[in-house]
Structure 1
Amino acid sequence: MKIITSDPHQPLAGMLWGASGVLLFAAGLPATRIAVLEMPSLFVGAGRAWLGAVLALILLLFTRQRLPSPRQWLRLALVATGVVFGYPILSSIALESVSATHGVLVTALLPLCTALFGAFLNQHWPKAGFWLCALTGSALVLFYAGQQAQGHWQQADLLLLLASVLCGIGYAEGARLTRELGSWQVICWALVLSLPLLTPLTWYSRPVLADTSPAGWLSMLYLGSCSMFLGFFCWYRGLALGGVTQVSQVQLLQPFGALWLAALLLGESLSAQAIWICLAVVACVALGRRYA
């Protein structure tokens, strides 16, 4: 088995790569919201991944990458379950009925999910402080979701939370695989592995061209090329160069970038409650990661 180790003496490069990935990810939920207002949510979720898979296949063929081992294919299937199918499709369905701002705040727990599954996969049991931070952050998110739905849970909230859990698994396993396959190779192989299933899903759910504006197609182009491909390229590269513990902290900036882009692109208003809950959840995530 080929083991690819990261250079421990490149923390700055790792932080820059990681920050680039977070910036590309931050626009994902606002762009998804724009797309699902005009297209079927299944097409948005599967179509973005299909486009990313095509780009990944081209890159893998061009660079003549060696095929993963059978065991690595199984692990890549776990990555694909979270980051290729789970998060894109579930978040697309959820954003049909809630705003991008709402989606950003509910999925702000994603870094905690990543830290939890990363600790589990590496057979390291988190300390009590982690669980306290996780419960506090979860309670804040549930409080916000309940306030928005006037005391009743929405199906969209359940979908967003499930999407965060699945994506956390995919992130954690993907980070482990970077040592064996390389940084960008992980997401590329996960996307290519998913291509046989993504193709019929995308074709079956395709929208009527006449009913879709250029803004919708531009959003899909961004989601497929940046959020599903280049963003992971930068993110896993940063994790490999600078280390998971250090570079993953950059992800704390993602909710704030996403909220700003939701306001800029969609004209969504930011309430004082949304801002302080976002700050509090990010603080819980930052503290929780120290104990994970």
Structure 2
Amino acid sequence: MNTAAPATASFPAPAAAAALRDSRRGWWLCLAGVLMFSLSIPMTRLAGGDASQPQLPPDFVAIGRAAVAGLLSALVLWATHAPRPRGRQWGLLAVSAAGVVFGFPWFSGFAVRHVEAIHAAVITGFLPLATAAVGAVWLRQRPAPAFWACALLGCALVLAFAAVQGGGRLQAADGLLLAAVASGAVGYVGGARLAAQGLRGEHVICWMLVLCLPLTLPWTIAIALQQPAALAEARPAAWGGFAYVSLVSMWLGFFAWYRGLALGGTLRVSQVQLVQPFASMLVAVPLLGERLDAMTLLFALAVIATVLVGKRLPVHPPRPEPAR
């Protein structure tokens, strides 16, 4: 009896099981990152205050958190003897850092001076679709049409919520928030690509922050010297918000996020971000005294349902290059 064929046929099973485990692990890591990121908008508003009661300067919050995280990152890289990026990885680090170290914190930091955290959380609900779109073009992945349908449905729900809550009016801060979304999408996908190339998730964000440290550290010191009164008069709660965005939003959250994107696939697990705006809203109520009504909870449940469906849909790898 020939037993070779059944034995050969069994070989793909372990690989498929390992891929499934990686996908699930990636999804849970990204969910952990999203839950940490969900406090970013409320904590940024807490740190900077609003136009009527300003606290820390928005540029200090945006750049200072990168400087603090950069110093910690230098210690981590030194203590773990982290391998240096190679060749083109430095350029990819620079592009990704432009998005997540500078772009998102800068644009969102100035925006939340003029809009509530709940409003900002709704607008940044575009981020999953933006991340998926950038990932599709950059990584040449091929999601199933139903996957895009889920992403579009989730974002349509977010837009509908914004329209109902805002009466269809857009503010200048909304443009800043959309710029933050575009910046974050580029940074997320670039960081995921670095993690897929062999850099550990925590090392990806650490190298980004260290690369920017020669700019962020003197910039932070300059802002502090120019506006000492604003820093001295800020409430302890504002400094608590700054500590959170420095240690968690700018640093620890990315440890889980980039590792999760590398394991689970950028297009699929990026849909977990659809949970983030609604988690931010829930935090903004006790933290900032903002109002959350029943309709918001219904929208949150609907969006979370699209996430659960979307993550189960197939995402195909890039097509192989034709043989020459």
Instruction: Identify the TM-score tier after normalising by the shorter chain.
Output: 0.7 to 0.9
The separation in 1 between residues aligned to 2:232 and 2:141, in whole angstroms, is 53
2:208 is the alignment partner of 1:196 = no
> Among 261, 273, 280, which residue is 2:283 paired with?
261
Which residue of structure 1 lines up, in the alignment, with residue 236 of structure 2?
214
2:19 is the alignment partner of 1:25 = no
Cα-to-partner distance string for 1:22-81 (whole Å, 9 max, x where unaligned):
221111111001011111111111111111111111101111222212310100111101
Larger deviation: 138-147 or 47-56? 138-147
The question of whether the paired residues in 1 share the 8 Å contact of 2:42 and 2:287 is answered with: yes
Q: How does 1:144-163 map to 2 (within 5 A)?
A: 144-145=161-162, 150-163=167-180
Shift of the 26–79 alpha-carbon distance from structure 1 to 2, 3 Å rule, reads same
Shift of the 151–197 alpha-carbon distance from structure 1 to 2, 3 Å rule, reads same
Which residue of structure 2 lines up, in the alignment, with residue 36 of structure 1?
48
The question of whether the paired residues in 2 share the 8 Å contact of 1:112 and 1:285 is answered with: no
Which residue of structure 2 lines up, in the alignment, with residue 115 of structure 1?
132
SS in 1 for 2:88: helix
The question of whether the paired residues in 1 share the 8 Å contact of 2:275 and 2:303 is answered with: no
Which residue of structure 1 lines up, in the alignment, with residue 190 of structure 2?
173
Determine which structure has more spread, i.e. the larger CA radius of gyration.
2
> Among 73, 79, 83, which residue is 2:96 paired with?
79
The question of whether the paired residues in 1 share the 8 Å contact of 2:135 and 2:267 is answered with: no
The question of whether the paired residues in 2 share the 8 Å contact of 1:108 and 1:281 is answered with: no
- TM-score for the superposition, normalised by structure 2: 0.77
Number of equivalent positions: 286
Cα-to-partner distance string for 1:124-180 (whole Å, 9 max, x where unaligned):
466665666666655655555555555432111111111111101111111111022
The separation in 2 between residues aligned to 1:169 and 1:139, in whole angstroms, is 21
The separation in 1 between residues aligned to 2:154 and 2:275, in whole angstroms, is 16
The question of whether the paired residues in 2 share the 8 Å contact of 1:105 and 1:278 is answered with: no
The separation in 1 between residues aligned to 2:310 and 2:264, in whole angstroms, is 20
Larger deviation: 88-97 or 114-123? 114-123
The question of whether the paired residues in 2 share the 8 Å contact of 1:80 and 1:191 is answered with: yes
The question of whether the paired residues in 2 share the 8 Å contact of 1:146 and 1:153 is answered with: no
The separation in 1 between residues aligned to 2:89 and 2:302, in whole angstroms, is 38
SS in 1 for 2:82: coil
The separation in 2 between residues aligned to 1:228 and 1:147, in whole angstroms, is 32
The question of whether the paired residues in 1 share the 8 Å contact of 2:60 and 2:223 is answered with: yes
The separation in 2 between residues aligned to 1:143 and 1:18, in whole angstroms, is 25
2:74 is the alignment partner of 1:57 = yes
The separation in 1 between residues aligned to 2:114 and 2:303, in whole angstroms, is 23
Cα-to-partner distance string for 1:239-275 (whole Å, 9 max, x where unaligned):
3445546644543332232111111211110134444
Which residue of structure 2 lines up, in the alignment, with residue 101 of structure 1?
118
Shift of the 97–282 alpha-carbon distance from structure 1 to 2, 3 Å rule, reads farther
Shift of the 291–36 alpha-carbon distance from structure 1 to 2, 3 Å rule, reads farther
Which residue of structure 2 lines up, in the alignment, with residue 90 of structure 1?
107
Amino acid at match of 1:28: S
Runs of 5+ unmatched residues, structure 1: 1-6
Larger deviation: 31-40 or 146-155? 146-155
The two structures, once aligned, show a CA RMSD in angstroms of 2.8
SS in 1 for 2:216: helix
Q: Which gives a bigger RCO, structure 1 or 2 (Cα 8 Å, sep 6+)?
A: 1
2:243 is the alignment partner of 1:226 = no
The question of whether the paired residues in 1 share the 8 Å contact of 2:128 and 2:151 is answered with: no
The separation in 1 between residues aligned to 2:159 and 2:260, in whole angstroms, is 32
The separation in 2 between residues aligned to 1:241 and 1:146, in whole angstroms, is 35
- Percent pairwise identity: 44
- TM-score for the superposition, normalised by structure 1: 0.85
Shift of the 139–154 alpha-carbon distance from structure 1 to 2, 3 Å rule, reads farther
Larger deviation: 132-141 or 185-194? 132-141
SS in 2 for 1:205: helix
Which residue of structure 2 lines up, in the alignment, with residue 3 of structure 1?
none
The separation in 1 between residues aligned to 2:79 and 2:32, in whole angstroms, is 24
